[in-house]
Structure 1
Amino acid sequence: MRGGIGLIKIGLTTWSEHDYLLKKPKPTLAEYASKLPVVELDTSFYAIPTQQSVLKWVLETPPNFRFIVKAHQTMTLHKPWQDYFSSQQEAFTTLINSLQPMIKAQRLAAILFQFPPNFVCETQFVRYLRMIRQWMGDLPVAIEFRHDSWFLKQYLPETIALMKQYQFTLVIVDQPKVPHSAPFYPVTTNSAFQLVRLHGRNHDGWLKKGEDWRSYRTLYDYSDRELSELAQVVEEISSFSQDTYVIFNNNAGGDAAKNALSLQNKLQIKYQGLNPEQIQLF
C-alpha cells in the first residue's frame, strides 16, 4: 500500500459468486485465495457452520488469509433465538465453538454483527451491545448499524465512546441514501482493525420489494471516480489501525470483483503470500 502504517486487505462477500475474479464460473475458496487476502462469510448468518467446514476453509487458504464471519441471524435479532437455541447465549457459544479452528490458526479477522434497521439507538439495544462483548470475550467484533439514530448529533459521541469502550469496530458503510439509513462516516473506533463495507448506491434497488429483491438490492457498479474517492478515504483511515478490511458486497450484477481489483490497483497494492495460481491448460 501507499503510505500509512496499516495493512489494507480488500475482499468480497463469499467466494463462489465472482466469475470475473478468475474468468471462470464458481471459483473455489482456494482459487479465490490466489487473488484476494480476505473473504466475508455470509452463510453463517443463516446457519452456523460445523468445525469440520471451518477447518477445511482454513486448510484451503494460506496463513496470511483472513475471514470475516457474519454473526448468526439470532445474534443480530433478525430472528428470535427461541426458534434455534435453548438460550440466547447458546447462539454465541455455538458460533464460537464452530470457529475454533479459525481462531486457533489466527485467521479470524472479525465477527460481523450487521443489525437490522429496527435496531435503533435505545437503552435496550445499548445493553445488548454490552452483552455481546461479555459473551464474545476478547474476540474481534465489528458492528454495522442500519439506522441513522446512532449517528445523530446528540448520540454520535456516545456511540463512538461505546464502541471504543468495548473494543468494537464501527463498520464504515457505503450504501444508498434512503430514509434513516446509516451515513458513510469514516471513523476509527478500534486500533486493531477497521472494516469498510461497500453495498453500492442503487437507491431504487435497495428499496425494491418482492421475491426478486436480492437481484436488485446490491446491483451497482462503482464508477472510476467513485473508486478513486473511496481509495483516498481508505488510504487516509488505514494509518489509524493495524489492519483495514474493505469488502465489496455490490454483486447482484457481478461487479464486486471488478471493483475490488480496480480499488487494489488505485491503492497500488500487491499482495504477498496468496495461494499459487493454477495454470489453466484448457
Structure 2
Amino acid sequence: NWLTQVPDNFRFVLKVHQSITTQGALPEGMTLEESLQHFKEAIAPMVDAGKLFCLLAQFPNQFKCTKQHVAYLGQVRNWFPEYPLAIELRDHSWYQPAVYSSMIDFMKERQLSLVVVDQPKRLSTTIPLDLTVTNPAFALCRLHGRNDSGWTATGPEAKNLRTLYRYNEKEINELSTAVRSVAEHAQETAVIFNNNAGRDAADNARAMISQLQLNYEALNPNQLALF
C-alpha cells in the first residue's frame, strides 16, 4: 500500500525490528529465523520496486562498545547481507580515541554505513557529529535536535520530549555545511529530521532544502500538509 502512495522517485529508510537492535522481544510466537524471514518477505515488494534506500539498525544508549557488541554488529550484517544497511550508535564509547579507528575500519570492511547523528551536545554520553562516510555507496544523516533535558527524560512523555526541538537558522546553516561534506564522499546521501515532537521537522527540512539549493520533482504537493 505504501508503494502506491508515493512518487516514483521516492525511497524508504526502514528500521529493522527492535528485537534485532536489542530493544525488545521477538514478535510473539516467532523464532529469530522466522522473524527475519517474515521481515524480508514483507519488504520484498519495496526492494523489487527499487524503493528501498536502506535498512536502519538504531541501537540504544545501552549498546556500548564491547567485544560482545562488536561481534553482534557483525552478526546483524550477516542477517542482512544483500541489503544496504545503516548502523546508528547512540553511546559515546564507540567514538573514544582508543577504539574509533578500529570501529570505522570495521564498518568499512562490512559495507555498513555509520549514520551521521546530530543530538544534544552537553551530555556525558553525547556522540560527536561525525562526518565520516564508511560506505561510499550511500550515507544517512539523522538529525534528532538538541534538547539536552528532553533527551534523557523518563516516563510516559519521554519519547515526545526527546525530539522536541527546533533548529535555529545558524544551526541549519552549520548542518547544511556538514551534509555537503558528507555528500562529497557518498554516491547518495539521505537526511532525516527526527525533531518531530513539536512539528518542527518539516520546517527545518525545508530550510535546509533552501540552503542546499535542492530542487525536488514529482513530489506529492500534499506531503508537507501531513506535518
SS in 2 for 1:96: helix
Q: Is the 8 A contact 2:114 2:133 kept in 1?
A: yes
Aligned to 1:149: 93
Q: 1:113 aligns with which of 57, 73, 77?
A: 57
Aligned to 1:174: 118
Aligned to 1:84: 28
Greater Cα shift, 260-269 or 237-246: 237-246
Q: CA deviation at 1:276?
A: 5.8
Q: CA deviation at 1:215?
A: 2.8
Aligned to 1:71: 16
Q: What is the one-letter code of the residue matched to 1:122?
A: T
The one-character-per-residue Cα deviations of 1:200-235 (angstroms, maximum 9, x if unpaired) are: 001011122222222311111100000001111111
The one-character-per-residue Cα deviations of 1:4-41 (angstroms, maximum 9, x if unpaired) are: xxxxxxxxxxxxxxxxxxxxxxxxxxxxxxxxxxxxxx
Q: CA deviation at 1:179?
A: 2.0
SS in 2 for 1:240: coil
CA distance in 1, matches of 2:190, 2:68: 30
Greater Cα shift, 175-184 or 112-121: 175-184
The one-character-per-residue Cα deviations of 1:115-173 (angstroms, maximum 9, x if unpaired) are: 01111111111111111111112201100001111111011111111111111100010
Residues 243, 90 of structure 1: CA spacing in aligned structure 2 closer, same or farther, 3 A cutoff? same
Q: TM-score, normalised by structure 1?
A: 0.75
The one-character-per-residue Cα deviations of 1:159-192 (angstroms, maximum 9, x if unpaired) are: 1111111111000100113222322111100111
Aligned to 1:257: 202
Q: What is the one-letter code of the residue matched to 2:178?
A: V
Q: TM-score, normalised by structure 2?
A: 0.93
Aligned to 1:219: 164
Aligned to 2:175: 230
SS in 1 for 2:33: helix
SS in 1 for 2:45: helix
Q: CA deviation at 1:258?
A: 0.3
CA distance in 1, matches of 2:71, 2:111: 15
CA distance in 1, matches of 2:50, 2:142: 22
Unaligned regions of 5+ residues in structure 2, if any? none
CA distance in 1, matches of 2:64, 2:70: 9
SS in 2 for 1:162: helix
Unaligned regions of 5+ residues in structure 1, if any? 1-55
Count of paired positions: 223
The one-character-per-residue Cα deviations of 1:93-112 (angstroms, maximum 9, x if unpaired) are: 22111100100001101111
**Stretches of 4+ aligned residues off by more than 6 angstroms:** none
CA distance in 2, matches of 1:276, 1:201: 29
Q: CA deviation at 1:91?
A: 2.5
Aligned to 1:129: 73
Q: 1:194 aligns with which of 139, 146, 153?
A: 139
SS in 1 for 2:184: helix
Q: Is the 8 A contact 1:89 1:135 kept in 2?
A: no
CA distance in 2, matches of 1:223, 1:276: 25
Residues 193, 85 of structure 1: CA spacing in aligned structure 2 closer, same or farther, 3 A cutoff? farther
Q: CA deviation at 1:257?
A: 0.4
Structure with higher RCO (Cα < 8 A, 6+ apart)? 1
Q: Is the 8 A contact 2:131 2:181 kept in 1?
A: no
CA distance in 1, matches of 2:184, 2:124: 32
Residues 271, 138 of structure 1: CA spacing in aligned structure 2 closer, same or farther, 3 A cutoff? same
